[in-house]
Amino acid sequence: MNATCTVRIVDISQDGCGVAKPDADKVLFVTGALPGQVVRVAIDQHKERYAKAHVLEVLEEEGLEDPLCSSPLCGGCPLQRLPYAAQCHYKENILRQALLRLGHLDANHIDAILAPMTKSPATRHFRNKIEFAFGFEEKRWRLGFRAAKQHTVIEPDHCLLMPEPVATLRAFVADWVNQDPTPAPFWRHLIVRIGQSLQGERSYWLILITRKAKAAQTRQIAHLAQTLFATFPDIRGFIHEERSSNDLWAFGEHRRQSFIPSHTEFTLPLGGKCFALDPMSFFQVNLGAAERLLEQARALFVPFASASSLLDLYAGVGAPGLLLAHPTQRIVSVEAHKASVAFAAKNAQSFGFTHYEAHAGTSETVLPRILDALPKDCVAIVDPPRAGIDPASLALLRKRAFPGLLLISCNPQTLARDLAQLTTSYTVTAIQPVDLFPHTAHLESIALLVPNQERLV
């Protein structure tokens, strides 16, 4: 393959790159390209079976829409120019190919169990969590999104994924920081979370992540918090966390100071219940699509409504276990984030669940201690992070063979990998993709598994 070539883009890869097939035995992944385009590209990397490239020039295109934003370098919405129906079509194919190649499921079996994509009810202004990064460039601090596969920070004029007030908050904090634009690598991330009550009332919570702060810097940030409260009445909480590790994670290692009025909680509604959570706890960022995911999960889990117990692995603050079980069931939850464990127990009490056991610790350390004590009719919900189920837990889930196992995944690749292991003991009877992340190549999926000896026809 030459250093430059002209190709037609025919598909989308799992990371949002355009896919071309210039040769029968080689695939080309093109950053910044979409199906419907003919592009001239420069080859960046050669491998035996594939190559990577970037776009030099778009020669032809059809079936694409105007960009949603004026920051093409951001990289946060690589599919934004594809019509939404086309986005869902290509994402369904990403899932299908993962199930075939990594999950080793039979093509006919996939056709029988894979349901059409459940679409997001909103494709704009749907995110309730936005992570901004700081970057020092041209003698000033930038606050925005990292460019695709780079450390450069792009300051958006606007972003159609987030509610409009967030842009005002971002600009305010950026201006405040630049009153004293020291180049020291102190400022790291600003996270904005949008809380909501059952009645739909919104509140804004800010988490500022810095390196280890000196006393003067701590006072400076406290002043910022008070200034924000005075300027924006809808702000309900401000948290300052520190992170010393030299990485790009937007997650504090130590909570330095909090400014949260008494009797104030960060809440998010789902399934008719209002979950209380720590502002750094995990929760779905697209509530409208999460409601549709819940509807699908409830429908799949109907056959197991009479189970006496439910195991909820990677439970977060209690969802989805508290949404799929009934108050008389015993729920055994496992979660590594300590603050989330406390809120899960609190939510269970608030919702009337009297038999809720919340275990703090990783699944691989807690599951071996509790597995043998679970009754035989206990069913399981497993909702791991993008990395998928840890190997130790996978082995135990295979050994136990729960009567019903609902696996919720935000990564088709690790979902398929985990299913390849689990299908030595289980049969996959249904897979439901749900689009929680419009304009990206990411998607959520629900898989229902039953033991092989109880195969459903």
3-state secondary structure the chain: CCCEEEEECCEECCCCCEEEEEECCEEEEEECCCCCEEEEEEEEEECCCEEEEEEEEEEEECCCCCCCCCCCCCCCCCCCCCCHHHHHHHHHHHHHHHHHHCCCCCHHHHHHHECCCECCCCCCCCECEEEEEEEEECCEEEEEEECCCCCCEECCCCCCCCCHHHHHHHHHHHHHHCCCCCCCCCEEEEEEEEEECCCCCEEEEEEEEECCCCHHHHHHHHHHHHHHHHHCCCEEEEEEEECCCCCCCCCCCEEEEEECCCCCCCEEEECCEEEECCCCCCCCCEHHHHHHHHHHHHHHHHHHCCCCEEEEECCCCCCCHHHHCCCCCEEEEEECCHHHHHHHHHHHHHCCCCCEEEEECCHHHHHHHHHHHCCCCCEEEECCCCCCCCHHHHHHHHHHCCCCEEEEECCHHHHHHHHHHHCCCEEEEEEEEECCCCCCCCCEEEEEEEEHHHCCC
Cβ–Cβ under 8 Å, residues 128 and 194:
yes
CA distance 22 to 8: 8
Cβ–Cβ under 8 Å, residues 199 and 233:
no
**Which amino acid does the sequence have at 415?**
L
> Known catalytic residue: 60?
no
Contacts of 220 (CB under 8 A, 6+ apart): none
First vs last C-alpha separation in the chain: 48
> Known catalytic residue: 410?
yes
Cβ–Cβ under 8 Å, residues 9 and 36:
yes
Q: Which residues face 332 on adjacent strands?
A: 311, 357
CA distance 174 to 306: 54
Among candidate residues 74, 88, 378, 410, the one labeled active-site is: 410
Among candidate residues 253, 274, 444, 454, the one labeled active-site is: 444
Active site amino acids: 410, 444
